[in-house]
Amino acid sequence: MPGAAPFDAAITGIGMVTAAGIGTDTAWETIVTAEGTAASPVPALDGTPSAIGCWIPGYDPIQAIGRRRAWRFDRSSQFAITAAAEAVGDSGLDPSTWDGTRVAVVLGSGIGGAASWEKQHHVLLDDGPTSVSPLLIPMLAVNMSAGYVAMEHGARGPNLVTATACASGTTAIGTARELLRQGVCDVVITGGTEACLIPSIVAGFSQMGALTGRQDDPSAASRPFDADRDGFVPAEGAAVLVLERAADARARGARVYAHISGYGASADAHHATAPEPSGAGAELALRAALEDAALAPDTVDHVNAHGTSTPLNDAAESQLIRRVLGERPAVTSVKGVVGHSLGAAGAIEAAVTALTLDRQLVPPTANLDSQDPRIELDVVAKEARAATVEAAVSNSFGFGGQNAVLVFTRA
Amino acid sequence: MSDTYERLVQLLVKNFGFDTDEVAREDTFSKLELDSLALVELTLAVQQEFKIKLTDDDLDANDTMEQAVKVIESKPVVA
């Protein structure tokens, strides 16, 4: 909407389930210490050629969701339910009294319930079709995480899951903000979830050459922007935000972590998995997000980068940041700590960016021992940096050439 | 004395998150909050546990655990 006043969506609640911790405060504490959380082998991947991953051994679905219900949900939905419960509780809103018809749920997920699908495929092959679980479809279908979150909180407004591969979480939050701007709801529970550290999916990424080869040194394997980076570390996790119109949040005296003030999306229209080398597609999304926020590119203080630790992504993304935003922003990638959780990544990074604005502290990029000399950016390494952050950008780029960028401003 | 009831309870414990003392012989599946999808899931688990063949209608939401035991025990064991 060129010419329209910028629209601020207030982030009033955050919930996180990550390898860095379950719960927002625990996750943040680990992220600011920049310690890699990858493990090898991940039990579910043991015996496969690429068994490294950022998994969440401490997540107990029975404790989190209840023993009588947990079995019904795929792990990706379990994560979403847990993160959403934390976010809604954190927001101070009360689902027992809110008008549920005005509450939307928009989550992102790249793959959906792949672990349940893989398990039931074994059942199909071993025992035949009449032994397949009747819950396979609600466990597998990519939309179910949002459906279940709605059931948990009586959220009867628009409900959907966005699938733009590794940009899914960012696409979800951008779409959620549009629903608020359009006035079709007053509250949105939004974020992303992913849980597919399973042999078939990880083998697929491995076969395309996207993953790190550092099986024997897991905590150092995810090293965004480092000269010796060699691929991403697959991860699982979820993050959920509660968004409200800024005026509504102010009126009820809610604590606001940050505002989401701009969103841009685009497609490379180039290649299945490789980023368009000039970055022109991603640049469209970044410039659209800045325009949406009515922000000049040279006023951005901080970039929470996609920063996957793959040679191609980090090179292309750093050129984009340098070209559009210049040398000014302090750049970080939390994937050095939490790995790459695909459709959840953008949501986890949105949560971290909101906390960065709230706490005026930029988390460092883990394992950045020797910055790639071709990456001419101010990447925050080793230690968190206290900084004045008024405006920040979070990039996400997905296979399929799908790009999504959020702009955050200080509340 | 057969152990069919105890084994059925153990399926509910293992697969559906029940505590042993949450289940009684006179409880219907409906009272145990097992919906239609859960009953199909239970049917699969019973077939595997008891090496029998059940139809989709053999376990009904209004059946008690005791009635289910009788159904299970009426079925011939298949190889």
The DSSP element (H or E) to which A103 belongs, if any, is strand A103-108
Q: Is the pLDDT of residue A1 over 50?
A: no
Q: Nearest by CB to A70, which of B17, B41, B48?
A: B17
Nearest CB to B16: which of A71, A131, A133?
A71
- The answer to whether B5 faces chain A, any CB pair under 8 Å, is no
SS3 content of chain B, % helix, strand, coil (to 5): 50, 5, 45
Residues in B touching A78 (Cβ below 8 Å): none
CATH code of the domain made up of A261-409: 3.40.47.10
Tell me the average pLDDT of chain A: 96
Tens digit of each residue's pLDDT (9 = 90 or more) over A152-192: 999 999 999 999 999 999 999 999 999 999 999 999 999 99
Angle ∠(A101,A346,A160) on CA atoms, nearest 5: 30
- pLDDT tens readout for residues A248-296: 999 999 999 999 999 999 999 999 988 888 899 999 999 999 999 999 9
DSSP B28: B
Q: B62 lies in a domain?
A: yes
B1 pLDDT above the threshold of 90? no
User: Chain B interface, mutation test: which of A60, A65, A68, A71, most B Cβ atoms within 10 Å?
Assistant: A68
Predicted local confidence at residue A226, as pLDDT: 98
By C-alpha distance, the chain A residue nearest B39 is: A134
Residue A302 catalytic?
no
CA nearest to B40 within chain A: A134
Domain of B14: which CATH number?
A: 1.10.1200.10
- For the residues A308-312, what does the mean pLDDT come to? 96
Q: Is residue B59 part of a domain?
A: yes
B76 touches chain A (CB under 8 A): no
Catalytic annotation on A122? no
Token pair listed for A33: 């210490």
Q: Which two tokens stand for residue B3?
A: 């152990």
Distance from CA of B52 to the nearest CA of A (A): 13
How many angstroms separate the first and last alpha carbons of chain B?
A: 23
**pLDDT digit string, tens, across residues A9-31:** 999 999 999 999 999 999 999 99
* pLDDT at residue A41 is higher than 90: yes
Residue A408 bridge partners (DSSP) = A260, A392
So what's the pLDDT on residue A213?
Answer: 96
Q: Where in chain A is the domain with CATH 3.40.47.10?
A: 9-251, 261-409
Q: H/E element holding A398? A: strand A391-398
Given the residues A153, A259, A302, A340, the one annotated as active site = A340
- For residue A86, pLDDT over 70 is answered with yes
* B17/A68 Cβ within 8 A: yes
Residues A153, A259, A302, A306: which is the catalytic one?
A306
DSSP A45-92: GTTSS---BB--TT--HHHHH-TTTGGGS-HHHHHHHHHHHHHHHHHT
Report CB contact under 8 Å: B44, A131. yes
Contact check, Cβ <8 Å, B37/A135: yes
- Could you tell me the residue range of the domain that residue B47 belongs to? 4-74
In the structure, what pLDDT confidence band is assigned to residue A138 with cuts at 50, 70 and 90? very high
A96 Cα to chain B: minimum distance (Å): 23
Q: How far apart are CA A290 and CA A90, in angstroms?
A: 29
* Consecutive H or E run containing A406: strand A402-409
Residue in B with minimal Cα distance to A129 = B44
Element (H, E) at B74: helix B65-74
What 3-state class would DSSP assign to A297?
Answer: helix
pLDDT digits (tens, 9 = 90+) for A331-363: 999 999 999 999 999 999 999 999 999 999 999
Q: How many domains does chain B have?
A: 1
Which residues of chain B are within 8 Å of residue A71 when distances are taken between CB atoms? 15-17
Q: Please say if the pLDDT value at position A3 is more than 70.
A: no
For residue B79, is it within any domain? no
Residue A196 is among the residues annotated as catalytic for this protein = no
Classify A104 as helix, strand or coil. strand
- Give A70's contacts in chain B (Cβ within 8 Å): 17
Average pLDDT over residues B35-55: 95
Chain B hits for A133, CB-CB cut-off 8 Å, are 41, 44
Residue B32 forms part of a structural domain:
yes
Q: Is B49 on the interface with A (CB under 8 A)?
A: no
Section B6-24 average pLDDT? 96
- The DSSP annotation for A318-377 comes to HHHHHHHHTT-SEEE-THHHH-B-GGGHHHHHHHHHHHHHHHTEEPPBTT-SSB-TT--S
- Between CA A327 and CA A321 the distance in angstroms is 8
Angle, helix A144-153 to helix A75-91, in steps of 10 degrees:
40
Describe the crossing of helices A311-325 and A280-292 by its angle, rounded to 10 degrees: 50
Q: Is B44 an interface residue toward A (CB < 8 Å)?
A: yes
Distance from CA of A139 to the nearest CA of B (A): 12
Best CATH choice for the domain A9-251 from the list 3.30.1490.20, 3.40.50.1980, 3.40.50.720, 3.40.47.10: 3.40.47.10
Determine, for residues B17 and A138 on separate chains, whether the beta-carbon distance falls below 8 Å: no
Q: Could you say which of A166, A196, A259, A302 is catalytic?
A: A166
| DSSP of A206-274 | HHTT-B-S-TT-GGGT--TTBTT--SB-BB-EEEEEEEEEHHHHHHTT----EEEEEEEEEE--S-SSS
Q: Long-range contacts: A327-330, Cβ < 8 Å, 24+?
A: A327/A376, A327/A377, A327/A378, A328/A298, A328/A300, A328/A301, A328/A378, A329/A300, A329/A301, A329/A302, A329/A303, A329/A377, A329/A378, A329/A392, A329/A393, A330/A301, A330/A302, A330/A303, A330/A362, A330/A378, A330/A380, A330/A385, A330/A387, A330/A389
Query: Which residues of chain A neighbour B33 with C-beta distances below 8 Å?
Result: 68
Which pLDDT tens digit goes with each residue over A97-124?
999 999 999 999 999 999 999 999 999 9
Q: Which residues of B touch A74 (CB under 8 A)?
A: none
Q: If you ran DSSP here, which 8-state letter would residue B38 be given?
A: H
Token pair 């994937």 is found at A335
Q: How many CA atoms lie within 13 A of A40 on its CB side?
A: 20
Question: What is the predicted pLDDT for the residue at A274?
Answer: 86
